[in-house]
Amino acid sequence: MDVVDTHGHLGPSPTGSSGETTEEEVLAAMAAQGVTTTLVMPQSLQPDERVVHDRIARFAATNPGRIYGMASISPLWEEAPYYAEARRCVRELGFKALKLHPGSYNTAPTQPRAEKCFRAAAELGVPLIIHTGLGAPPALPALVIPRARQFPHLPIVLAHAGFVAYADEALVVAQECANVYLEPSWCQFYQARRMVAAIGSERMLMGSDHPPNLAVELAKWRATGISPEHLANVFGHTPRRLFGLPDPTV
Ligand SMILES: [Zn+2]
């Protein structure tokens, strides 16, 4: 079965929460778990995101079709350098999404300085991934609703889908906003099942967050008991359509 991991990281974690994630770790976890493709981004709070974006671009170039990049740029940057790096990542490096981490940068989606993240993703034609859950209140899922309505054609992924505690709130956001997708890493298996029952599998994604957690997330999704058709959507069809990834099997 085609499996796309939509939430991977590469490089150091300046906060020390998860240590350094290496290229070898990502590829080894993919091989062990039968994952076809992984999207990777820097961890939050890099001294200079551009350094890790360049490393991710090299990783993707040496693993075509297997590794794609995503840009995680601090929302504290001024608009001009933010847009310049977003454009460079998408147009020159071929990255497939932008990421906003409201908790790490104390930047709720409703704050004025967060608007550039949504605007850049919309103008560049890529989804915006937003960390949700841990780091509330800035990371509360409901704070995405006004922006999802302001940018109705921008696909928005709620990473961690509320992170267990706010999973029901994340689901409400997806029910209220048709352009919102849920990626329930770290949520419980029955929460993921409830999300599929409520919004279907065409707006649901699998993400690991860390290579050792990949086996856990795959086991969790299989434990939901959702149909093989739903599982094929969550693992493969939905992320390939959302991020515009060619199917490596055809
Ligand atoms: Zn993450």
* Stretch 99-125: mean pLDDT: 97
| pLDDT band for position 15 (cuts 50, 70, 90) | confident
Give the percent of the chain with pLDDT over 70.
98
Query: Residue 88 burial (CB < 10 Å; 0-12/13-18/19+)?
Result: middle
> What are the beta bridge partners of residue 156?
128, 180
Other Cβ atoms within 10 Å of 132 Cβ, number: 32
Distance 78 CA to ligand 1 centre (A): 23
Residue with the two structure tokens 């981490």:
101
Average pLDDT over residues 172-184: 98
Prediction pTM value: 0.97
Please give the backbone phi and psi of residue 158, each rounded to the nearest 5 degrees, phi first.
-85, 95
Question: If you average pLDDT over residues 54-62, what whole number do you get?
Answer: 98
In the predicted model, is pLDDT for residue 248 greater than 80? no
Distance 133 CA to ligand 1 centre (A): 12
Half-sphere exposure of 23 (CA within 13 A, CB side): 14
pLDDT at 83: 98
Integer Cα distance of 111 and 129 in angstroms: 16
Mean pLDDT of 22-50: 96
Average of per-residue pLDDT across 52-80:
98
pLDDT at residue 249, as a whole number: 65
Average pLDDT value for residue range 179-186 = 98
d(CA 215, CA 185): 12
Peptide bond preceding 138 in cis form (omega within 30 of 0): no
Comparing CA positions, the residue from 38, 39, 36, 113 lying closest to residue 74 is: 113
**pLDDT tops 80 at residue 61:** yes
Exposure string for 206-237, b = 16+ CB within 10 A, e = fewer: bbbbbbebbeebbebbeebebeeebbebbbbb
Structure confidence at residue 164 as a pLDDT band (50, 70, 90): very high
Ligand 1 centroid to residue 235 C-alpha, Å: 18
Residue 69 has pLDDT above 90, yes or no: yes
Set out the domains of the chain in order of their start, with CATH numbers.
4-243 (3.20.20.140)
Pairing of strands 180-183, 98-100: unpaired
Please state, in angstroms and rounded to a whole number, the distance separating the CA atoms of residues 83 and 32: 37
Q: What is the mean pLDDT of residues 133-152?
A: 97
- Please give the distance, rounded to the nearest whole angstrom, from the Cα atom of residue 177 to the centre of ligand 1: 23
Q: What is the distance in A from the centroid of ligand 1 to the CA of 43? A: 7
As a whole number, mean pLDDT of residues 213-227 equals 98
The mean per-residue pLDDT over the stretch 31-50 comes to: 96
Instruction: Give the Cβ contact number of residue 115 at 10 Å.
Output: 16
| Predicted pLDDT at 11 | 93
Cβ neighbours of residue 171 closer than 8 Å, sequence gap 6 or more: 161, 162, 182, 194, 195, 198, 199
- Cα 47 off chain centre by: 21
In the reported structure, the alpha carbon of residue 79 is separated from the centroid of ligand 1 by a whole-number distance in angstroms of 24
> From residue 112, how far is each of 76, 81, 103, 240 by CA, in Å?
11, 16, 15, 31
Q: How much distance in Å is there from the Cα of 227 to the middle of ligand 1?
A: 27
- Asked whether the predicted pLDDT for residue 76 surpasses 80, the reply is yes
Q: Is a pLDDT exceeding 90 seen at residue 178?
A: yes
